[in-house]
Structure 1
Amino acid sequence: MKTYLVYDVGGTSVKYSVMDEQANVLESSSSPTPPQGDGQIYKFIIDTTKKYKNKWHLSGVALSVPAAVDVKTGYVHYAGQVTDFIGRSIKEELIDIGLPVEVENDANCATLAEKWKGNAQECNSFICMTIGTGIGGGIFLDGKLRRGRKGMAGEVGLMIMSSTESLDTLVETSTFSRLGSTWNLLNRVFLKTGEKLTGEELIDRYNKNDTSVQGEVEAFFDAIAIGTANLIHIFAPEKVLYGGGISEQVGFTNHINKRLKKIRPEIVGITEIDVCKFRNLAGQVGALYHFRNSQ
């Protein structure tokens, strides 16, 4: 049995597991993401891998990272919170591990996980969106994952949703992530009410017709529907899948479908709206699938 060490690097934590070839978890753990600025993330991955290397006779290391990355070289062109990745090759930084290393964007990993073992196994074309601190996206078209130049394909969170602001401030104020991410929704509710709520608490309040949160949640669902409609009109996929904690709330897809019908009824006849099968393991499962396909 071959085993692999698989990392899902996030802005706040690094989740990692020893998996077999079918993504069965043999051992797992997590740690806070090291502070950025002096490359501690690389030392953490090297030290952790060396600890597991002999115990499990690892065949390789697979990484899911929040970055636009060249999967062949490991070079990162753009990253969010884990800024130590930017302008460096992750593969070269991890060469001391002494094992094959493959790296892929986190949203692309979630997309690959759904294609391999999730809710898109029968799809030839679909889009996967992860809704959290921002909105990540993976685009799978005509049987292939689309990465685009510099790995920037699928960065749906940067899609501009309004033209009412000055052009030089649109990315800060009017992107899909700004208007449709869970973090920004919760922050807007906090600024309005002074309450720090979880996504689950907020949707529960909304479902109980709490007027103090109603407007912000309605605007959030509107943004998700508008962004989804734009993507459907561009790509016409068989499915759009949503991931992230808020997508697990009861009735989430109903809220989106209701709005899509208002935008243009024909949309719901083009594309099925669904949620991702994989949750916290999505990045790791997809990273392993990418590793296997790359070696």
Structure 2
Amino acid sequence: MKIIALDIGGTAIKYAYFDGDDLIFDDVRPSEASLGGDKVLENIISIITEIGNQHSYDTIGISTAGQVDSINGTIVYANDNIPNYTGMELKKILEDKFKVPVSVENDVNAAAIGEAIYGAGKGENDFLCLTYGTGIGGAIFLNQKLYKGAQGVAAEMGHMMIHPGGLPCGCGSFGCYEQYASTTALIRTAKAHSPEFYNGKAIFSAFDHDSKDAKRLIDQWVKEISYGLVNLIYIFNPSLIVLGGGIMTQPYIINKLNQIIKESTMPSFHGVRVTLASLGNLAGVYGMKAITSKEYQEK
């Protein structure tokens, strides 16, 4: 089966072309999500068209930010990271346009499926998956299946209330986890301290050059990450937590988190392992490969 898979985020669209089990190529381009859902759709169509002009394909898989009705392939809800995206009927629009079957799934669910079938979660019955970037997304794997909840939108871990009455969030609440523990939150806090900390690479570059300010900012941010993870550990008692997002490739983060979590939980919960998503930024497209090729099925 020949598959085009896309992973739409608040910053970038990652895309790949698979021929059977072989990844033929992958690439990335800006999503331009701040310009709204119509612009994102325009970019999706452009990428698929460009690939289709060079390669035949049997199906399309779309991993996307936002709450997704994966049966109907619609966006149930998207916050201001992608304005006017809520309600978009992605599956119908793309099937009408390209005349092949289209599957649509939430981006972190897709990443968790990718990790479960091909990556760090392979062979695990139960694990949690979180991605840290523009916001924070989550997925729950129980008995080798995604847990989606009553309305199909479970695991909005980025909107756990960690600091009641705290910073306003795009969801309309205050003190949400992603306002303190996302990559966006780290950069916002660091830039307020010094304009030299203008992105994640700059912050960690300063850290690598023994900047005490960078270390203090990173340590506080990692502590914020741990608050959410400790709560999840006490609720789910998982054997494994898989963390994704480009910033998580920094070895210091995973090592520090494992240390803090061990110090912050009861001994009976010390069996949990926190590890990096082994598929990296391609976890979402691999998840859509698994879904579209039926290597993963919900039922």
TM-score, scaled to structure 2 = 0.88
- Following TM superposition, by how much is the alpha carbon of 1:37 offset from its aligned partner in structure 2, in angstroms? 4.5
| One-letter identity of the residue aligned with 1:250 | P
Residue 206 (structure 2) aligns with: 205
Identify the residue that residue 245 of structure 1 maps to in structure 2: 246
Decide which moves more: 194-203 or 237-246. Answer: 194-203
Q: Which stretches of structure 1, 4 residues or longer, exceed 6 Å deviation after superposition?
A: 166-170
Q: Which residue of the partner structure matches residue 10 of structure 1? A: 9
Aligned position for 2:184: 183
- Asked if 2 retains the 8 angstrom alpha-carbon contact of 1:229 and 1:267, the reply is no
| Contact 2:133-2:245 within 8 A present in 1 as well | yes
Equivalent residue number for residue 87 of structure 1:
87
Kindly provide the amino acid, as one letter, of the partner of residue 59 in structure 2.
G
Would the aligned equivalents of 1:243 and 1:279 in 2 still touch at CA under 8 Å? yes
Conserved? CA contact 1:257–1:268, under 8 Å = no
- How many angstroms does 1:267 deviate by? 5.8
Aligned position for 1:30: 28
Query: In 1, distance between residues paired with 2:82 and 2:195?
Result: 29
Determine if contact 2:167/2:175 at 8 Å carries over to the other structure: no
After TM superposition, give the deviation of residue 212 of structure 1 in Å.
2.3
Residue 19 of structure 2: aligned partner: 20
Deviation of the 1:184 alpha carbon: 1.0
Q: Is the 8 A contact 2:167 2:174 kept in 1?
A: no
Deviations 1:184-209 (A, max 9, x none): 11111111122234424423534655
Q: Measure the CA separation in 2 of the matches of 1:152 and 1:43.
A: 26
| Cα displacement (A) at 1:168 | 9.6
> Residue in 1 aligned with 2:142?
141
RMSD: 2.6
Structure 2 distance, partners of 1:48, 1:103, is 16
User: In the TM superposition, what whole-angstrom CA distance separates every residue of 1:12-63 from its partner, at most 9, and x where no partner exists?
Assistant: 33222211232x3223343332563572433443344344336432110001
Cα distance, 1:159 vs structure 2: 0.7
- Paired residues of 2:137 and 2:158 also in contact (CA < 8 A): yes
Within a 5 Å distance, the mapping from 1:86-235 to structure 2 comes to 86-94=86-94, 95-165=96-166, 173-206=174-207, 209-235=210-236
Deviation at 1:9, TM superposition (A): 1.3
Structure 1 unaligned spans of 5+: none
1:82-117 deviations in Å (ceiling 9; x for gaps):
334311221112122100000111111111111111
Letter of the 1:28 counterpart:
D
Provide closer, same or farther for how the CA distance between residues 136 and 267 of structure 1 changes in structure 2, counting only shifts above 3 A.
farther
Instruction: State the distance in 2 between where 1:137 and 1:277 align.
Output: 16
CA contact 1:163–1:170 (8 Å) conserved in 2: no
Change (3 A) 1:113 1:174: same
Residue number in structure 2 paired with 1:74: 73
Distance 1:161 1:25, change over 3 A: same
Give 1:169 deviation, angstroms.
9.9
| Percent identity (aligned) | 27
Q: Which amino acid aligns with 2:17?
A: V
Contact 2:161 / 2:174 at 8 angstroms: preserved in 1?
Answer: no
Contact 1:160 1:176 (C-alpha < 8 Å) held by counterparts: yes
TM-score, reference length from structure 1:
0.89
How far, CA to CA, are the matches of 2:204 and 2:193 in structure 1? 16
Q: What is the DSSP-based 3-state SS (H/G/I as helix, E as strand, rest coil) of the residue aligned with 1:129?
A: strand
Could you tell which deviates more after superposition, 207-216 or 171-180?
207-216
Instruction: Give distance in 2, aligned partners of 1:174 and 1:292.
Output: 40
For 1:169 and 1:117, locate their aligned partners in 2 and report how far apart those are by CA, in whole Å: 33
Indicate conservation of the 8 Å contact 1:113/1:289, yes or no: yes
1:149–1:77 distance in 2 versus 1, CA, 3 Å: farther
CA distance, structure 2, for counterparts of residue 247 and residue 32 of structure 1: 20
AA aligned to 1:175 is C
Moved more, 179-188 or 162-171: 162-171
